[in-house]
Structure 1
Amino acid sequence: MTPDSPVLAEIRDLRLRLPHVLGVVVASVDGLLIAQDTHGVEPEVFAAMSAAQLGLGQQTVAAVRAGEFRESVTTATNGYVATFAAGASALLTVIAGRELNVARLHHEARPAAARIGELVRQAEQRRITEQYDPSSGKRSR
């Protein structure tokens, strides 16, 4: 992601709205890093772990027929790790200190995840459109 990408701008805005956030990662559902604003965490590794957590959450809710996975919050002694589905092909993970107001996290991160999901969907659609050659009916590349 370029420093001025809309996804990066969205996660930086989220950090500004949420005190005690230590980092934010956006990844594809297969664990590839899309954007990050973190310090002290390897973002590529964390993106992969977040995708694994998303996958586990999806399998868990499917096993109990609870609908679609939306989010998971892990509480630890020193803080929180929250993963939110961001559309069909991405996820948003927030790392925060124990002072975080979890209700505010939900209030801010849920709509941010929805916006990020839409931004990722639009970027994917642009990539597909740019690769398609209408004169031949084939994909270029």
Structure 2
Amino acid sequence: MRTETFQKVLEDLNGSTADIEASALISVDGLMIASALPKNMDEDRIGAMSAALLSLGERATRELGRGSLERVLVQGKDGYIIMTAAGTEAVLTVTAKTNAKLGLLFLDIKRAAQSLSKLV
């Protein structure tokens, strides 16, 4: 039942804007909890990378005195990868198109992460 609820939140997030291509909820140790990913994306690889990047982001913000981590943003030539904590036990990872409106995207992601953190 919880997995279905996670799935619904991810699907709603993906449907909130055409800018979002994929989303996944991943445990902090890199295991996939739920996902709304295209078939060509490797869940295990995404899980491991998301957990590692979030951990590095948290360490960097702490070590460099930037306060608590809000998000990790990776920008590539073909789009964005955005990771944010969903509670203390999970990471919400989203991929977005290159022309995405980041302000609106961050708001949608934050809302989804808050919903998911109450369920994790």
- TM-score interval for Structure 1 and Structure 2 normalised by the shorter chain: over 0.9
Percent identity, please: 29
How many residue pairs are counted as aligned between the two chains? Answer: 119
RMSD: 1.5
SS at match of 2:29: coil
CA distance in structure 2 between the partners assigned to 1:80 and 1:117 by the alignment = 22
Match for residue 32 of structure 1?
Answer: 31
Match for 2:98: what amino acid?
R
Match for residue 10 of structure 2?
Answer: 11
TM-score, normalised to structure 1, is 0.79
Give CA deviations for 1:27-83 in whole Å, capped at 9, x if unaligned: 011111100111121012101100000000011011012222120111111100000
Equivalent runs, 1:1-141 vs 2, <5 Å = 5-39=4-38, 40-120=40-120
CA distance in structure 2 between the partners assigned to 1:43 and 1:96 by the alignment = 17
Gaps of 5+ in 2: none
SS at match of 2:65: coil
Range with greater deviation from structure 2 (19-28 or 85-94): 19-28
Segments of 4+ in structure 1 off by > 6 A?
none
TM-score, normalised to structure 2, is 0.93
Kept after mapping to 2: 8 A contact 1:28/1:91? yes
Larger Rg: 1
Report 1 or 2 for greater relative contact order, CA contacts < 8 Å, sequence distance ≥ 6: 2
Match for 1:116: what amino acid?
L
CA distance in structure 2 between the partners assigned to 1:72 and 1:86 by the alignment = 13
Gaps of 5+ in 1: 121-141
Q: Give the deviation of 1:100 after TM superposition.
A: 1.4
Match for 1:97: what amino acid?
K
